[in-house]
Amino acid sequence: MNITVFGTGYVGLVVGACLADGGHHVVCVDVDEPKVEVLKTGHIPIWEPGLESLVRANLDEGRLRFTADAAEAVAFGLLLFIAVGTPSDEDGSADLRHVLDAARTIGAHMTGYKVVVNKSTVPVGSADRVRAAISEALRARGVDVPFDVCSNPEFLKEGTAIEDFTRSARIIVGTDSGRVCELMRECYAPYNRKHDKIIVMDARSAELTKYAANAMLATRISFMNEVANLAERLGADVEHVRQGIGSDPRIGYDFLYPGCGFGGSCLPKDLRALVHTAQDVGYETPVLRAVEAVNLRQKSLLFEKLSHAFGGDLSGKTIAVWGLAFKPNTDDMREAPSRALMEALWAAGACVQAYDPVAMPEAERIYGHRDDLRLMRSREEAVKGADALVICTEWKVFRAVDFDWLKSQLRQAVIVDGRNLYDPDEVSRAGIRYYAVGRRDGVVSPNVRT
């Protein structure tokens, strides 16, 4: 098939590269001409495992192209995927400006039948708004060209996006058209072979499915964080609790890990957008509001634990931070817990020595050069001479540590672990005060190794 993808951000690049790798011919279009020129060389502006090599391979094979020419892109594809950003507006609603701009561009250039596919995460009713925008552009041209609009939400996780696309658990297609359904089946045929993963529903239900899925995942995380905070106050160990409830097949283990809060480009934004959508129809969502409130509170937990460890005075202290991205295998720092921590540390007069395997250029882009932020080349450099260590991201490189060595590097033997990576007993036997989430805080074993 000939397929066009509007947008070369995270979703657009993954969709375009994966569809091309499945044998389709794909053109990705973007209004950012300098970005397009870089993409033509096979370099991508984001860090996602395997994506750059996939883009290069399909560029070399001639199945993937990039352009800034909207007319060319609209003419090329029978399926036109809209995969542009939908950031949060000031009131928490999803900003559809880029989606509707793409729709108007399609209406301005189409001359034959097209299927417009909403891949961007959009509020319920957006397919209707896209249809109206295209129809208005066609009327302005004085032409009547047939087209269909369908919803096909993405379910990509940063760090595993290629696998999520090629081995997805489900492919949601929101349409009432049999013709569209057959075309979408043809589009996804390369990745729908083992068993039929396509679920067809109306567009509004498809749009709500995406938001409901992310809201459920966010709810599980905030619920476990509530349980963890309660466990601390009751003298229980949340790791044991997690295993106990996760073993129930009705619950399962996924997204039951307590920590320092969720971030990134999806869960926080989509949760706010769903709350706003409910408000628009006069419905209150106290559960969703509580999920967001718990997450915001949880992001302050690391600073509070660290402040407690130092008697409330962090002025002049140097704090090592392991992990800046909101999760492993990405360089995305949007709404990351590390940002809340570092900004609170700076306000308290502390200095940060940070290391992340891939997100340091992003940290430099966000914060620029400042005397109280030192970006180090390794985890070892980050802890050398620091007063304490805080773990914000559960990268594999942080999981195995010689605690005797770590204690020798820190001026004061304090670890605040926002991801519960270590066994509290093992850390405490090394004479380190260990503050985790939902576990015994700051206890040093009487059997300290010397």
Catalytic residues: 266
| Residues paired with residue 26 on neighbouring β-strands, in sequence order | 3, 64
Distance, CA of 389 to CA of 387 (rounded, Å) = 7
The number of CA neighbours under 13 Å toward the Cβ of 272 is 18
The number of CA neighbours under 13 Å toward the Cβ of 179 is 10
Distance, CA of 330 to CA of 313 (rounded, Å) = 33
Asked if 391 and 364 count as a contact pair (C-beta separation under 8 A), the reply is no
Asked if 39 and 8 count as a contact pair (C-beta separation under 8 A), the reply is yes
Asked if 73 and 1 count as a contact pair (C-beta separation under 8 A), the reply is no
Terminal Cα distance for the chain, rounded: 68
Helix (H, G, I), strand (E, B) or coil at 231: helix
Asked if 6 and 44 count as a contact pair (C-beta separation under 8 A), the reply is no
Q: Which residues contact 69 (CB under 8 A, 6 or more apart)?
A: 29
Beta strand extents in 103-176 (DSSP E only): 114-118, 147-151, 171-174
Phi/psi zone of residue 191: left (φ > 0), alpha (ψ -120 to 50 degrees), beta? alpha
Distance, CA of 330 to CA of 359 (rounded, Å) = 7
**Joined tokens for residue 343:** 């900004």
Q: Is the CA virtual torsion 116, 122, 127, 129 positive or negative?
A: negative
Identity of residue 410:
L
Distance, CA of 310 to CA of 348 (rounded, Å) = 12
Asked if 431 and 407 count as a contact pair (C-beta separation under 8 A), the reply is yes
Nearest-CA neighbor of 202 among 155, 153, 151, 168?
Answer: 151
Provide φ and ψ at 372, rounded to 5°. -95, 15
